Amino acid sequence: MDLLEPRHEVEIVEVGPRDGFQPIGPFVATERKLRFIREAFAAGLRRIEIGSLVSASAVPQMADTPDLMRALADDAGLLPQILVPTARRAEAAAAAGAPMLAFVLSVSPAHNHNNVRRSPDESAAEYEAMTSVLDPGLPVRLNLATAFDCPFDGRVAPDAVFRLLDRLVPARPDAEICLCDTTGRAVPRQVAALFAEARARFPAVRRWALHGHDTYGLGCANAFAAHGEGVRVFDAAFGGLGGCPFAPGATGNVATEDLVWMFEEMGVSTGVALPALLALARDAAALPGAQPGGRVRAALEARCRV
Amino acid sequence: MDLLEPRHEVEIVEVGPRDGFQPIGPFVATERKLRFIREAFAAGLRRIEIGSLVSASAVPQMADTPDLMRALADDAGLLPQILVPTARRAEAAAAAGAPMLAFVLSVSPAHNHNNVRRSPDESAAEYEAMTSVLDPGLPVRLNLATAFDCPFDGRVAPDAVFRLLDRLVPARPDAEICLCDTTGRAVPRQVAALFAEARARFPAVRRWALHGHDTYGLGCANAFAAHGEGVRVFDAAFGGLGGCPFAPGATGNVATEDLVWMFEEMGVSTGVALPALLALARDAAALPGAQPGGRVRAALEARCRV
């Protein structure tokens, strides 16, 4: 059975509990996180990035990821995705029973160094080391952060993406490949072009994903462009959480409810029940320290009649 | 000379002074409006919808449109667009020296009746009456409001749009045709499909335009989809103004700065200088009673570095 196979025309991967909560200063209690995760699952979001195994001093909000993994181990149908940046963290996650892993490295040297104090090539070696020791039956995703644009270096050349994929696709040919617009500065024509060329160069890759941010208002536009190139897996965060803690106004991930609205209204099924999603998105947006984003929550509340 | 011919790869029509200011309760002084219009022109926005000739009791914010027309009559290069809903208003605008007119009617009967107490067919007769008396050299745009969705009746059938165009395109074959997403509920696949079919059915129409709202976060996505179908003229409002006065949260027109950002970053020239536009968009967003929208203002101010 292919655990990552989308069950609907598109699969939305809920990353609110990881990318959305990560920049929130006040610690969100583990019990509260569990409730969000289970409500998201009940709304139809099967694959949920529940946290990451990273330095708890660097990202204190993720300190309870092992607790979440344990608590959710028996939730039937839920597919918790755990983000890891090194082989050692990946092995720890697998040993703790993670049902799937998302390994992240940044295409841009400056961003990768800032995150994990390694060059992209050093992180690529970590990915290879991880795949050589992991059970080959454990589903893996490869996240290429800053695949379009870097907060330090600006636009990222497609060749830098392809050079990493030339090396890393053979390490786990069955991995899902996610190209991440970390800054939200990708534009739809660029998104379409990069996925078109990536799919042409790596025809053996079965599944491509887009991780988008809505910082410049292009979260949905970029998802639409990627969908036009055959991408069927999309990351999103309930409430549009995920802003940068050091930059008020720099809103975060594309809101799950905005993506669900767009796809469902286009007749593309997501499997997500919008009313249930909206209820939890409103709760998430109201978390102390959260920087919510997205449009659909407010639009459906206001629903102008004139 | 074709006054409406885009000078750049896409032409952005600034509708902030009309659609953006219209729902603002406190009257924006005529001198302040003139400053916004001239700053927008200086930023590179040549065609600007400066106001409408409508009932001043129904839309008090538009009461000074004749004054604006007079004041701007000698501004070289500026192309003021005046919105009119009837033949009588169109004749008054032409008599007052309007260099171009945008006639508006709604495809949806409920919306048209709510706006002008006429059926769409009665408004179509007004358009025909207008074209029969106007100087055929005066540039005309036909705005079809609620071409995708109606706040009262929901989704609008494409056939209702084509039925009106079957009748009205022959009345002024050279008119620019603008399909308006009045509610912001249009989705990109629908936008692409409607323009594709419209262009196929009416190959003689030289210019198509999209008037989009960002209420559901799809302002840029819909513009990208329309651009993919050959649309080269896009309405937008500085600061994303244009929300519904009776529905806080129902944000308005797609922000001019968001569209300029998207197109310019895609390598599609707009002729607009973003820094100058941002300065006036910030002023517009700060107007008392304004409901601003858009993302790019905040994103460029915050510019997260981590």
Query: Would you tell me how many other CB atoms lie within 10 Å of the CB of residue A177?
Result: 24
Residue A274 pLDDT: 97
Domain residue spans in chain B? Answer: 11-302
ipTM value for the complex: 0.94
Query: Where does the pLDDT of residue A302 fall: very low under 50, low under 70, confident under 90, or very high at 90 and above?
Result: confident
What's the average model confidence in pLDDT over A204-216? 96
Beta strand A208-211 with A176-180: parallel, antiparallel or unpaired?
A: parallel
CB contact under 8 A, A262 and B221: yes
Residue-by-residue DSSP string for A140-209? EEEEEETSSEETTTEE--HHHHHHHHHHHGGGSTT-EEEEE-SSS---HHHHHHHHHHHHHH-TT---EE
Q: What tens digit of pLDDT does each residue of B265-278 get?
A: 999 999 999 999 99
Structure tokens at B292: 């601003």
What's the average model confidence in pLDDT over A176-203? 97
**Facing B220 at nearest CB: one of A185, A221, A294:** A221
Q: How far is B170 from chain A (nearest CA, A)?
A: 31
List chain B residues with CB under 8 Å of A268. Answer: 189
Rounded-to-integer distance, Cα A290 and Cα A24, Å? 6
Residue A306 pLDDT: 39
Nearest to B50 by CA among B20, B82, B27: B82
Residue A243 pLDDT: 73
Residue B248 pLDDT: 52
CB contact under 8 A, A216 and B295: yes
Q: In whole angstroms, how far apart are CA B99 and each of A114, A254, B49, B69, B74? A: 56, 42, 11, 9, 11
Amino acid at A71: A
Nearest to A299 by CA among B213, B216, B242, B23: B216
Rounded-to-integer distance, Cα B157 and Cα B160, Å? 6
Task: Identify any residues that bridge with B11 across adjacent strands, giving them in sequence order.
Answer: B233
Residue B301 pLDDT: 83
Rounded-to-integer distance, Cα A106 and Cα A158, Å? 13
Q: What tens digit of pLDDT does each residue of B113-140 get?
A: 998 999 999 999 999 999 999 999 999 9
What's the average model confidence in pLDDT over A94-99? 96
- Distance of alpha carbon A261 from its chain centroid, rounded? 18
Q: For testing the chain B interface, which of A22, A244, A304 should be mutated: the one with the most B CBs within 10 Å?
A: A304
Per the prediction, chain A carries an average pLDDT of 94
Asked if residues B189 and B218 have their Cβ atoms less than 8 Å apart, the reply is: no
Dihedral Cα A199, A201, A204, A205, nearest 10 deg: -50
What are the residue ranges in chain B where pLDDT is below 70?
Answer: 244-251, 303-306
Nearest to B175 by CA among B131, B141, B128: B141
Specify the CATH architecture of the domain B11-302: Alpha-Beta Barrel (3.20)
Residue B1 pLDDT: 74
Q: Minimal Cα distance from B297: which residue of A?
A: A216
Nearest to B74 by CA among B92, B93, B97: B97
Residue B302 pLDDT: 75
Query: Where does the pLDDT of residue A305 fall: very low under 50, low under 70, confident under 90, or very high at 90 and above?
Result: very low
CB contact under 8 A, A246 and B298: no
Residue B224 pLDDT: 98
List chain A residues with CB under 8 Å of B291. Answer: none
Residue-by-residue DSSP string for A39-85? HHHHTT--EEEEEE-S-TTT-GGGTTHHHHHHHHTT-TT-EEEEEES
CB contact under 8 A, B188 and A221: yes
Residue B257 pLDDT: 98
What's the average model confidence in pLDDT over A43-62? 94
Which of A302 and A83 is assigned the larger pLDDT?
A83
A103 three-class SS: strand
Residue B243 pLDDT: 72
Residue A58 pLDDT: 87
Q: What tens digit of pLDDT does each residue of A253-280 get?
A: 999 999 999 999 999 999 999 999 999 9
Q: Minimal Cα distance from A268: which residue of B?
A: B189
Q: Give this prediction's pTM.
A: 0.96
Residue B244 pLDDT: 64
